[in-house]
Amino acid sequence: MIGTIRRVTVCTAIVLIAMLLPGCSSQNSRQLYMAGVSEELAAFRKSTIDNIEYKLFFNIPQNKDSAVKATLELSYNTDVSTPLILDFIPLYAKDRALNLSLLVNGKLFNTSLKDEHIVVPSRLINKGINIISIEFIAGAQSLNRRDDLLYTLLVPDRARTLFPCIDQPNLKARYSLTLEIPATWRAVANGALKSTHEKEGRVVMDFAKTEPIPTYLFAFVAGRMFEESFSKNNREIKIFHREEDSLKLAQLPGIANQIFYSLDWLEEYTGVEYPFSKYDIAIIPGFQYGGMEHIGATLYAHRTMFLERGASINEELARAKLIAHETAHMWFGDYVTMCWFNEVWTKEIFANWFAAKIVSPLYPQINHKLNFINSYFPAAYSEDRTAGANAINRELKNLNRAGLIYGNIIYNKAPVVLEMLVKKVGEDIFREGIREYLKSYAYSNATWDNLISILENKTGKELKSWSDKWVNESGMPHIITDFDTIPNSNGEEYGLFVLDSTQAEIIAHTITDLNSEVSRLSALINIYENADAGYIPPKILFKSISSIIEREKDLLIFTRAVSYSSSYILLPFANDIEQILWRVVESSDNLQKRGIAFRKIIEIAQSQESLERLLKIWREPNEYSYVVISQLDLIRISYLSAIAFPKYYNEIKKIQRDRLESAERLAEFDFVFPSVSPDRSVRDSVFKSLLKKENREIEPWATQSLSNLNHRLRECYSIGYIDPSLEILEEIRESGDIFFPTNWLRSLLSGHTSLEAGDIVKRFLERNSQMDEKLISKILQQSHHLR
């Protein structure tokens, strides 16, 4: 399928070029000018444009509501006289024409914006070098602005919401950037800082020209930040952050060392030195993702980098893997980039697979095969088991739908497939193939098929048909056979191994006696999937989970069992599970197990006994010696207690608010806490505010509020929120970032288990059968438990 699409696209480009030559009709070339970036437009520009450079200037005002004035000088080369079609969505006014004045090769040209494009006619375009200059107001959608901070986030197709550009991944460009910012601010960007100078009480910062990168990786951050430098082996990185807590600041050297280690590991494995001029990071409170791999200015979420007191080894490992993941992207995604976003998974497959390899030596006490299974298989199954399952590789006609491709299939199933491929060709051959792949497509673009071809040439094996099956087909196989032993005991096969109740009972009874940790985890995962699919009764799953929680010594297997304990499948055993978890909290000799169990209780507590115990702990956290209680734990308990005990709402709000020392945490708390109000009119007001996009700008805050509104303890009151939240899903996709539709749906639906909730979702899908199939898939994935 990939090869076919590529051939058709190239042919289409040739036809469209002919249509745009003088004397040819443009009747059939309208797809070039449709909103977004169509395949046809991308192919046309790829075949006519190269050597692109952007010189950008942004004047950032102190007031976040003031317009950001900007200028662009775009230069490029072309060998044919065809129109230049630029992409641009100014502010939120994409539905109306915008008059623009351009300087095209020294000549003034007045035009208007139409369907998100600026079209410069061929009569103004020279064969050879062309220079286009534009003054404009920067678009606001992806210029994430707060009172004293802003940061760009342009993946996958949001560069055009910030500045006029050629917004497609297979036309890389070099960027030069100048920022004018308030004198008290700092800034970081892709390129190295060349110079600064004062200008009328402000600061002008010039950043060096970058290596060739796609538009989605252009980035800068500006605002009130602290800056710290770290050096090792003639390499320097800077960390920009807003944290003031000394306990969290003490983590910065460890973060820097993990970056240094990841860079060294990847250089040694790939044979390619770090391919960009610098590596700096910014840690952003309320950042939408865990991290984003902009060269020279990688962004990380505050919540993922600064661990709370009492953090478990799993949380430390997760941070190390995140750092390794984003660092691996420097080679896989940034240095070599996919041609089109239907293959965005090709950068994620490498980043996650290499992340697992990179962190292994750092944590010798962890069984890393076990960790690989635990990290990727359950998460992949969570979407692949649903009616919304999709293939790893998906068709993408227009880049404006690219955000819907992201999910657990590309982040978690894809690394499993890559591990299968490595086993087929051998690790040494795979490494040779990766080195050739990077060398062949340096600072350029490549497809998955390019790597498969390299590996076929090196092994003499036919790999394409195997690859097509795993990459282009959706769903997880259900394997039905007779089992004399534990099925998939090595944990390496992907799929559901169907059990009958008798087989499952035997496994549940003996699961903690299995000698191999991999076998125990694999058996647990398979029992869960069988229970979810309805092959075995929930009681067997409960027996397996309770046995592991009470007896398992391995922390990864214990954590997996605890994570499964909140499943809708086990609702009939909710009170029993709470009691089992409390016993772990108050009797386990392992502090990390106690913390994991305690945090799961906060998530699932619904019995009066558990709710009262949590409230008591929240009131006197220093008196509770069983676990290390973090500030985040106290915030979460405050939300839960305000819902469970409405009469204490004001008291809880005051006490918890007084405990917060961080201005960032306080702002988040003030935004979220009204969502747990006992007053239904207040909650309705919060909900109505979330329906307006300006109130969803900090996405983690918005999803936390929506989750509180739809809390399981208020399910009967919140049923009315489901339909209006689904109705704005297209707007959520359009105005939010790539993970927002999934996070919005999860926050909306995970607290609901009723038949009525399932019927509301079903009726919505029936009414909206013409909705984008990728959005429908998201709904089906997140409503799986309501089926």
pLDDT, tens digit, for every residue of 534-558? 999 999 999 999 999 999 999 999 9
pLDDT, tens digit, for every residue of 724-762? 999 999 999 999 999 999 999 999 999 999 999 999 999
Report d(CA 147, CA 223) in Å as an integer: 9
Q: Give residue 245's pLDDT band: very low, low, confident or very high (50, 70, 90).
A: very high
Q: DSSP alpha helices (H): ranges in 345-413?
A: 345-359, 368-384, 408
Q: Give residue 677's pLDDT band: very low, low, confident or very high (50, 70, 90).
A: very high
**pLDDT computed for residue 309 by the predictor:** 87
**pLDDT computed for residue 623 by the predictor:** 94
Question: With contact defined as beta carbons under 8 Å apart, do 317 and 371 qualify?
Answer: yes
Angle at 421 between CA 418 and CA 422, to 5 degrees: 90
Report d(CA 126, CA 166) in Å as an integer: 18
pLDDT, tens digit, for every residue of 31-83? 788 999 999 999 999 999 999 999 999 999 999 999 999 999 999 999 998 99
Report d(CA 218, CA 160) in Å as an integer: 11
Give the pLDDT mean for 698-720: 97
Give the pLDDT mean for 613-626: 96
- CA atoms within a 13 Å half-sphere pointing along the CA-CB vector of 226: 8
pLDDT, tens digit, for every residue of 354-380? 999 999 999 998 999 999 999 999 999
Regarding the domain with residue range 50-224, which homologous superfamily does it belong to in the CATH classification? tricorn interacting facor f3 domain (2.60.40.1730)
Q: Which of 302, 349, 284 is nearest to 145 (CA)?
A: 284
Q: Give residue 97's pLDDT band: very low, low, confident or very high (50, 70, 90).
A: low
**pLDDT computed for residue 13 by the predictor:** 52
Q: Which of 190, 83, 97, 205 is nearest to 132 (CA)?
A: 83
How many CB atoms neighbour CB 71 within 10 A? 15
Q: Taken in order 255, 259, 262, 264, is the CA torsion positive or negative?
A: negative
| Pairwise pLDDT comparison (592 vs 94), residue with the higher score | 592
- CATH 1.20.1250.20 correct for 339-468: no
Flag whether pLDDT at 437 surpasses 70. Answer: yes
E strand spans, 233-347: 235-241, 281-284, 291-292, 298-301, 336-338
pLDDT, tens digit, for every residue of 640-650? 999 999 999 99
Report how far apart, in Å, the C-alpha atoms of 593 and of each of 291, 312, 365, 557, 590 are.
27, 8, 16, 11, 5
Report d(CA 548, CA 301) in Å as an integer: 33
Question: With contact defined as beta carbons under 8 Å apart, do 494 and 476 qualify?
Answer: yes
Q: What average pLDDT does the chain have?
A: 94
For a pLDDT cut of 90, what percent of the chain falls above it? 90
DSSP state for residue 122 in the 8-state scheme? G
Q: Give residue 17's pLDDT band: very low, low, confident or very high (50, 70, 90).
A: low
**Rounded to a whole number, what is the distance in angstroms from the first to the last CA of the chain?**
32
Residue 775: strand, helix, or coil? helix
Q: Which amino acid is at 55?
A: K
Could you tell me the two tokens for 29? 């070339």
Pairing of strands 298-301, 336-338: unpaired
Pairing of strands 220-223, 235-241: unpaired
The string of DSSP letters for 631-669 reads HHHHHHHHHHHHHH-GGGHHHHHHHHHHH---HHHHHHH
| Pairwise pLDDT comparison (25 vs 117), residue with the higher score | 117
Regarding the domain with residue range 225-331, which homologous superfamily does it belong to in the CATH classification? Neutral Protease Domain 2 (1.10.390.10)
Question: With contact defined as beta carbons under 8 Å apart, do 101 and 179 qualify?
Answer: no
The model's pTM is: 0.94
Give the pLDDT mean for 298-317: 93
Q: Which amino acid is at 351?
A: A
**pLDDT computed for residue 79 by the predictor:** 95
DSSP state for residue 165 in the 8-state scheme? B
Report how far apart, in Å, the C-alpha atoms of 522 and of each of 272, 370, 411, 418, 514 are.
37, 9, 20, 19, 11
**pLDDT computed for residue 450 by the predictor:** 98
**pLDDT computed for residue 1 by the predictor:** 34
Report d(CA 94, CA 89) in Å as an integer: 5
Report d(CA 32, CA 660) in Å as an integer: 53
